[in-house]
Amino acid sequence: MAKIGFIKLGNLGMSQVIDLVQDEIAAREGISVRVFGTGPKMGKDEAAATAELKAWGADFYVMISPNASAPGPTAAREIYKDVPCIVISDGPTKKEDRAALEEAGFGYIIMTVDPLIGAKTEFLDPVEMASFNSDAMKVLSTCGVVRLIQEELDKVAAMADEGKELELPHIVAKPEKCIERAGFSNPYAKAKGLAALHMADMVAKINFPACFMMKEIEQVTLTAAAGHEMMRAAAQLAIEAREIEKANDSVFRQPHSKKGYLMTKTSLYEKPKQ
Amino acid sequence: MAKIGFIKLGNLGMSQVIDLVQDEIAAREGISVRVFGTGPKMGKDEAAATAELKAWGADFYVMISPNASAPGPTAAREIYKDVPCIVISDGPTKKEDRAALEEAGFGYIIMTVDPLIGAKTEFLDPVEMASFNSDAMKVLSTCGVVRLIQEELDKVAAMADEGKELELPHIVAKPEKCIERAGFSNPYAKAKGLAALHMADMVAKINFPACFMMKEIEQVTLTAAAGHEMMRAAAQLAIEAREIEKANDSVFRQPHSKKGYLMTKTSLYEKPKQ
Amino acid sequence: MAKIGFIKLGNLGMSQVIDLVQDEIAAREGISVRVFGTGPKMGKDEAAATAELKAWGADFYVMISPNASAPGPTAAREIYKDVPCIVISDGPTKKEDRAALEEAGFGYIIMTVDPLIGAKTEFLDPVEMASFNSDAMKVLSTCGVVRLIQEELDKVAAMADEGKELELPHIVAKPEKCIERAGFSNPYAKAKGLAALHMADMVAKINFPACFMMKEIEQVTLTAAAGHEMMRAAAQLAIEAREIEKANDSVFRQPHSKKGYLMTKTSLYEKPKQ
Amino acid sequence: MAKIGFIKLGNLGMSQVIDLVQDEIAAREGISVRVFGTGPKMGKDEAAATAELKAWGADFYVMISPNASAPGPTAAREIYKDVPCIVISDGPTKKEDRAALEEAGFGYIIMTVDPLIGAKTEFLDPVEMASFNSDAMKVLSTCGVVRLIQEELDKVAAMADEGKELELPHIVAKPEKCIERAGFSNPYAKAKGLAALHMADMVAKINFPACFMMKEIEQVTLTAAAGHEMMRAAAQLAIEAREIEKANDSVFRQPHSKKGYLMTKTSLYEKPKQ
Amino acid sequence: MAKIGFIKLGNLGMSQVIDLVQDEIAAREGISVRVFGTGPKMGKDEAAATAELKAWGADFYVMISPNASAPGPTAAREIYKDVPCIVISDGPTKKEDRAALEEAGFGYIIMTVDPLIGAKTEFLDPVEMASFNSDAMKVLSTCGVVRLIQEELDKVAAMADEGKELELPHIVAKPEKCIERAGFSNPYAKAKGLAALHMADMVAKINFPACFMMKEIEQVTLTAAAGHEMMRAAAQLAIEAREIEKANDSVFRQPHSKKGYLMTKTSLYEKPKQ
Amino acid sequence: MAKIGFIKLGNLGMSQVIDLVQDEIAAREGISVRVFGTGPKMGKDEAAATAELKAWGADFYVMISPNASAPGPTAAREIYKDVPCIVISDGPTKKEDRAALEEAGFGYIIMTVDPLIGAKTEFLDPVEMASFNSDAMKVLSTCGVVRLIQEELDKVAAMADEGKELELPHIVAKPEKCIERAGFSNPYAKAKGLAALHMADMVAKINFPACFMMKEIEQVTLTAAAGHEMMRAAAQLAIEAREIEKANDSVFRQPHSKKGYLMTKTSLYEKPKQ
């Protein structure tokens, strides 16, 4: 049995499904999941509130938030520093900051490919926000990021289940690393997926000035819109990549058995095998 | 000030963003959000665990899960029956069951358009699950469902903020109702959006037998794959619809101001106005 | 030699090609076809007029019309009840009505997948009508319905040719049945085709209220437009499905030889074989 | 009242809907339609059989077939030379042949844009035939050809209804002429439609050698497949053209009133006006 | 060592890359290239100016221009008639004119598939011109024309390198000839490519009257726009064709080795082999 | 009268059309163009050879090559340092290097958006090279880069024509600068164009390691393929952007009059005006 606690501060693309990826049909035995989230905000108050889930006594925690170096996530880590906890975020991107995380005992998966949204009142409303998250999830799911997260969390859960000491992951999930997990069999599908990841990665470089530096309405909205168009184009490439695999009946699938081990299958009509 | 507690049992498409839609850029004052979730499962144990968030004393709760008539959600409602609570689900679809919910004091928004996933080990793995959720979110976001949820929750939050007695919504979110919230200005874009919602609605009719009645591997996987292809096609129609509005520079946007009221804008370069 | 008489009352998608599917290059010996049609109308006068073709003395007749239970088709069947006649229509969908047809000696193929057009003056003009029929034909042709009709008529023609007693077909052509005739070799192409058929099937559910219940101009036109958008999306899925087979050089073809037997081929450069 | 008889020898793209275009919702008063067809074949036997419809005594006849100069259609015209009859075909393309038709008292509409199918056993089966007809109909419907036919037939029907002497049309329906009837308001949509018509026109130049001159299997199938790909691309351009008009809510529609006069509308929510 | 001189008078689609195709990564030994061009114009002055490159003493010259029968190119040939020179153009299309070229000692490759641009001030500006050239290059590159040019020039360069007498090519590059050089392995991809070439070929038939015969602004711009839309559609077909080959990992590649011989590879991860 | 000499060393995307953009229909008076190129190579020998065009005595020269800091271009500049010469390249990207260029008297336009090709024998062959250039040109043409070059060269040509002292441009053509020249009227089209430029810009970051750092065949080909897929996606975005402007009949055009001044037009049927 593994008890896994998810703490969600603010929102990343991956936040949408991270608590679901280990039990996609809700039939897996030997795993128990609890989620505590603070909605869109990730300030100090929210950080303090996360203490609540600690009482549950999970085997390990997964703390997901944008920018793990921000004050809120930093404060939240203070609370969880004495229990096994994996930080999942789009930063810190600096090596030394990640080393500090590791020294403090945290595992981490830093996904530079989880794209920064164009978070300006002049552009973003709830519909645009949700629509952007849909595009982000299309890339994250089909280009290897979801599988990377799932495999790494499964590894730790297996250790917990077996009563072993937990070895937490320390991974920088750059495009080149993610794409290897995607399981593409056609090399051009893989190349499209890799390009999509690079584009998701690059969205932050466009949206960052829109979010934090620009003031003038035309510049802000044009730039954020360009960021979202790039994300849309990335999603489209990811779709194309998967369509190629479908056309070859070579979609790699890795469902969980009821007992929790991973099975694999490739041809659609094939039974999953351990 | 409004305190809103979200309880997530299992997963619907809308679960991915429901706690974010009232504060899309995480800058709204006077609103506080907490989320308690149980991951993919929604059995009796999970239902019992939801009691934890009640202690927070939210002004109102939002309980989202598939099939609100299932034992887990039913048990969870027992816990929250004496506080203001809005049930958000894809069922019950029968009138009398919804009447019973209302009599028991619950608000509800029943989204028949939140599509049933093809949840069979033979077909679904974490990647396919996340990819399907991306398609679902594309339709939910751009075809009015996200806005319907946001507007209804905002109304109740405003009542809480103003210290009024809370009037909870009782809405069956069928395609025809949702599309009116989408704010399309071009009638063909609206028609595409409406068709996409009907298709999302119909996915359940295809996936239900795949999930619960079929046994044979070819039949199960072909049928679930057809359900997911229909969802993919629905997402594509939703994308087309929004592209038309973009081409006309008539995307209706409704961002929240810092103070929490809704602003609107249509032309991209226009400033949002109250 | 087989003499086949086609009676067309009103118009279905399939009406466009039904008299052509047994002799696609107009070179088949031993088959003779005559068609009598009444244009768009299918009232009692038109029904009476169909008597004309009876004099020709076909080996069997094929009577195609929308809604076989309507007064016109019913009256026309009175005329043909004493000769071998196969009813092809989009209804009756009720089992007992079909049983009655069979008891009365008629064969039938009820294609629930032949979509109901949005037949309202406020929306439909000759161009929209023809364009919708194009979309319908794309699904009917590539997703198995044309082949089902062709194979069934060929069987009866063969019996006539051989002087056997005619065994007429009794088939409800639902999506699941049709798709098996399409000959897809790639399972995702097949799933796309199946989804397209389900969508074609669903168009009636959208267009029916537009045609017969709604009055208000915006509601009528929006709804019918949504029905036609769904048909357009279905056609697009059907196109995608065939493109996959083309990309795999696995398009299954079944041309008629000059002598009338079916040949088959799959690779484009392959010669058709008996 | 106008009685219109349609004689169909063999099949053109336009044959699929020609008897429907004057009464698209089957509700027009004062018009009566009968169709006599001979299926795919158009030889001398079929020509002789068309005599049957003459007895009906239509106000005028419309005889549609491929290549009006072929022996079958020529023989059929002998039968109808003493009654008002409009020949609709993809040829003769030579001026003097058309002059001869006119001198013989026939009206004609020669549609060079109705594409020649790749009618070789090695390539064409019933499914490919029907699918090609779908593509042809997409261009014919949205690029002005259907409307040209409808308007011209309506004019003659109006003369018949008013008891005037019938003036039959003499039209060569080349791309430039057809596109003017399509009612596009956006000039690029019109240009796309015009390009689609030119491509449909050109299909014959590709398929003709495949049908009548080539022998070798690879050459035949590659060439016919290229012809069908060009038709597919033309259909896609036609779809794009109409999507532009939809995006501008400027689709020109011209439905028939119950009384038979033409109404027009442009905006989707607008009521048709006389 | 081979010295190759390129003379560019005016512009064809192929002019953009013709001096690059023998040395795509700029690493080939034993080849030396010089280009002399006259920009858009190709009159007598420009023709005279081309004499400059003759002094270089190339092993052979390649003279590329639209319409090789025009006065400018004709005058330029006078200068180069006593050295080995290959004329590359979209005409002359008449057999006797090409025979005259050959008798005069010139090699030629007449590419009827290099499309005529819609060169009218009312339509063409630098952006439209460059965008059209992009579409032309997509067809020329992926449908065999670039490879035909490359292979033919390589052959002559090899003769020069080996000190043999030069045998110059005499080729009319029609669609059927070009497509054989494209190296498609999927027959439908090849059919799409062939259709694209036919469309490129046909563009001249549309643009010619727009360029040289029409006067009225609407007619000129509509017609030229239709020509450019057809080229756009041809490019799209060419893209589709290559995507099919990518999906099958069967893109045929023929890079030059450093030493200048051709290597080939098909699977993406495969090493090129001699 | 302005005499303009173009020196092309190696190849950039822009090299394909740079000598054409000032005289798109080859009818402009008062301008004379000569081009000297060295094909794919740009070493010291090629640099020396460029001296040839200096003798012509152009009013100004335009020297286009990849990486202006490389030895070849640097050597070529030595030759042209005493005449007016504008350097057009994708680098140097460092400010001080550009300052040095300016101090040496050169004008420059550094286009970071002209994408670096994946120039490895393992991946690039003449077809892939030309196809990539087509994608590059689609972005360069429709997203403002071609117009920027054209406008800047026109300015200098006008000075030459008027006998003024030449003021040479000093421009770093980043995405944000280029997009302002594109003349988009729809803001989402502009955002798509901007995203396409950013993607073109980013291609170098992917292809650089493939070209210069990676060794292993799978890594090299996958990475270069990803770079080319990104360029393909950028081209597609650029196409979408222009389609929006076409759908709004708002394509901004700026043709040259016969006399050489710029005219403008927007609606397709509008006459160009000065």
Considering only CA atoms, which of E242, E224, E208 is closest in space to residue E140?
E242
Tell me the count of A-F CB pairs closer than 8 A: 74
Residue of C nearest to D19 (CA): C39
Cβ-defined contact of F191 to A233 (cutoff 8 Å): no
Phi, psi dihedral angles at C134 (to 5 degrees): -60, -45
Q: What is the pLDDT of residue B186?
A: 98
Sheet (strand D107-111) strand order: C170-173, C107-111, C85-89, C60-64, C2-8, C31-37, D31-37, D2-8, D60-64, D85-89, D107-111, D170-173
Residue of E nearest to D218 (CA): E187
Cβ-defined contact of D226 to E199 (cutoff 8 Å): no
Q: Please state, as a whole number, how many other Cβ atoms lie within 10 Å of the Cβ of residue D7.
A: 31
Closest partner residue to C39 (CB to CB) among D19, D121, D140 is: D19
d(CA F170, CA A164): 65
- Nearby residues of D186 by Cβ (< 8 Å), 6 or more positions away: D244, D245, D248, D250, F246, F247, F249
User: Residue C246 corresponds to which tokens in the numbers above?
Assistant: 């083309």
Q: What is the pLDDT of residue A39?
A: 97
E and A touching (3 or more beta-carbon pairs closer than 8 Å): yes
Residue of B nearest to C220 (CA): B191
Contact E36, E6 (CB under 8 A): yes
d(CA C163, CA C207): 44
User: Residue E69 corresponds to which tokens in the numbers above?
Assistant: 């029968």
Instruction: Return the residue matching tokens 């030449």.
Output: F166
Residues F181-219: pLDDT tens digits?
999 999 999 999 999 999 999 999 999 999 999 999 999
- Nearby residues of C266 by Cβ (< 8 Å), 6 or more positions away: C185, C249, C250, C251, C252, C253
Closest partner residue to A248 (CB to CB) among E247, E251, E269 is: E247
Q: What is the pLDDT of residue C167?
A: 98
d(CA B115, CA E11): 55
* Pairing mode of beta strands C107-111, E107-110: unpaired
d(CA F233, CA A187): 17
Contact F166, F86 (CB under 8 A): no
- Nearby residues of E82 by Cβ (< 8 Å), 6 or more positions away: none
Instruction: Return the residue matching tokens 């934890």.
Output: B52
User: Residue E229 corresponds to which tokens in the numbers above?
Assistant: 């839309």
DSSP B53-122: HHTT--SEEEEE-S-TTSHHHHHHHHHHTTS-EEEEES---SHHHHHHHHHTT-EEEEETTSPPP---TT
Burial bucket for residue A264 (CB in 10 Å: 0-12, 13-18, 19+) = middle
Sheet (strand A85-89) strand order: A170-173, A107-111, A85-89, A60-64, A2-8, A31-37, B31-37, B2-8, B60-64, B85-89, B107-111, B170-173
Q: What is the pLDDT of residue D241?
A: 98
Q: Please state, as a whole number, how many other Cβ atoms lie within 10 Å of the Cβ of residue F104.
A: 12
Phi, psi dihedral angles at E73 (to 5 degrees): -55, -35
Contact C213, C148 (CB under 8 A): no
How confident is chain F (274 residues) per 10-residue block, as mean pLDDT?
97 98 96 97 97 97 97 98 98 95 98 97 98 98 98 98 97 98 98 98 96 97 98 98 98 97 97 95
The gap between the terminal CA atoms of chain E, to the nearest Å, is 20
Q: What is the pLDDT of residue B224?
A: 98
Instruction: Return the residue matching tokens 């469309």.
Output: E199
Q: What is the pLDDT of residue B246?
A: 98
User: Residue C124 corresponds to which tokens in the numbers above?
Assistant: 């439909």
Using pLDDT thresholds of 50, 70 and 90, give the confidence band for residue E189. Answer: very high
Phi, psi dihedral angles at A173 (to 5 degrees): -90, 80
Cβ-defined contact of A189 to E247 (cutoff 8 Å): yes
Instruction: Return the residue matching tokens 């800091």.
Output: F69
Residue range C124-143: mean pLDDT, rounded = 98
Residues of D with CB under 8 A from a CB of B: 246-249, 251, 267-269
D and F touching (3 or more beta-carbon pairs closer than 8 Å): yes
Q: Please state, as a whole number, how many other Cβ atoms lie within 10 Å of the Cβ of residue D78.
A: 12
User: Residue A124 corresponds to which tokens in the numbers above?
Assistant: 């973003």
Q: What is the pLDDT of residue C216?
A: 97
Residues B27-48: pLDDT tens digits?
999 999 999 999 999 999 999 9
DSSP D13-66: TGGGTTTTTT-TTS--SSEEEEEEE-TT--SHHHHHHTHHHHTT--SEEEEE-S
Which DSSP category does E274 fall into?
Answer: -
Contact E19, E150 (CB under 8 A): no
Q: How many CA atoms lie within 13 A of E269 on its CB side?
A: 11
Cβ-defined contact of D221 to E192 (cutoff 8 Å): no
Closest partner residue to C268 (CB to CB) among E188, E244, E248 is: E188
Q: Where are the alpha helices (DSSP H) in chain E?
A: 44-49, 51-54, 71-80, 95-103, 126-142, 145-161, 175-181, 187-212, 217-247
Considering only CA atoms, which of E218, E202, E58 is closest in space to residue E123?
E218
Q: Which residues of F touch D247 (CB under 8 A)?
A: 247
E and F touching (3 or more beta-carbon pairs closer than 8 Å): yes
Q: What is the mean pLDDT of chain C?
A: 97
Phi, psi dihedral angles at C87 (to 5 degrees): -90, 125
Cβ-defined contact of B188 to D269 (cutoff 8 Å): no
Measured in angstroms, the CA of A265 and the nearest CA of chain C are apart by 14
Tell me the count of A-B CB pairs closer than 8 A: 254
User: Residue E49 corresponds to which tokens in the numbers above?
Assistant: 């100016």
Q: What is the pLDDT of residue A247?
A: 98
Phi, psi dihedral angles at C128 (to 5 degrees): -60, -40
Cβ-defined contact of C38 to D42 (cutoff 8 Å): no
Residues D107-161: pLDDT tens digits?
999 999 999 999 999 999 999 999 999 999 999 999 999 999 999 999 999 999 9
Q: Please state, as a whole number, how many other Cβ atoms lie within 10 Å of the Cβ of residue D35.
A: 22
d(CA F225, CA F122): 11
Considering only CA atoms, which of B167, B234, B243 is closest in space to residue B200?
B234
Residue of D186, D242, D243, D265 best to disrupt the B interface, most CBs of B under 10 A? D243
Residues E164-175: pLDDT tens digits?
999 999 999 999
How confident is chain B (274 residues) per 10-residue block, as mean pLDDT?
97 98 96 97 97 97 97 98 98 95 98 97 98 98 98 98 97 98 98 98 96 97 98 98 98 97 97 95
Q: How far is CA C266 from CA A197, C24, C246, C269, D123, in A?
A: 38, 18, 10, 9, 10
Q: Which residues of E touch A194 (CB under 8 A)?
A: none
Residues F122-145: pLDDT tens digits?
999 999 999 999 999 999 999 999
d(CA B132, CA B230): 10
Tell me the count of B-D CB pairs closer than 8 A: 19
Q: What is the pLDDT of residue B245?
A: 98
Residue range C209-236: mean pLDDT, rounded = 97
Cβ-defined contact of E188 to C267 (cutoff 8 Å): no
Three-class DSSP category at C7: strand
Per-residue pLDDT of chain A (274 residues; tens, 9 = 90+): 899 999 999 999 999 999 999 999 999 999 999 999 999 999 999 999 999 999 999 999 999 999 999 999 999 999 999 999 999 999 999 999 999 999 999 999 999 999 999 999 999 999 999 999 999 999 999 999 999 999 999 999 999 999 999 999 999 999 999 999 999 999 999 999 999 999 999 999 999 999 999 999 999 999 999 999 999 999 999 999 999 999 999 999 999 999 999 999 999 999 999 8
Instruction: Evaluate the omega torsion of the peptide bond into residue F92 and state whether it is cis, within 30 degrees of 0.
Output: yes
Q: How many CA atoms lie within 13 A of F222 on its CB side?
A: 20
CA angle A193, A196, A200 (to 5 degrees): 140
Instruction: Evaluate the omega torsion of the peptide bond into residue C73 and state whether it is cis, within 30 degrees of 0.
Output: no
Three-class DSSP category at D235: helix
Q: Which chains touch D (3 or more CB pairs under 8 A)?
A: B, C, E, F
User: Residue A144 corresponds to which tokens in the numbers above?
Assistant: 């290897």
Contact A173, A110 (CB under 8 A): yes
Residue of E244, E252, E253, E268 best to disrupt the A interface, most CBs of A under 10 A? E268
Instruction: Please report the ipTM that was assigned to this predicted complex.
Output: 0.98
Is the pTM here over 0.90, yes or no?
Answer: yes
Which DSSP category does F253 fall into?
Answer: B
d(CA B77, CA B72): 9
D and A touching (3 or more beta-carbon pairs closer than 8 Å): no
Residue B223's identity, in one-letter code, is: T
Three-class DSSP category at E250: coil
Three-class DSSP category at C42: coil
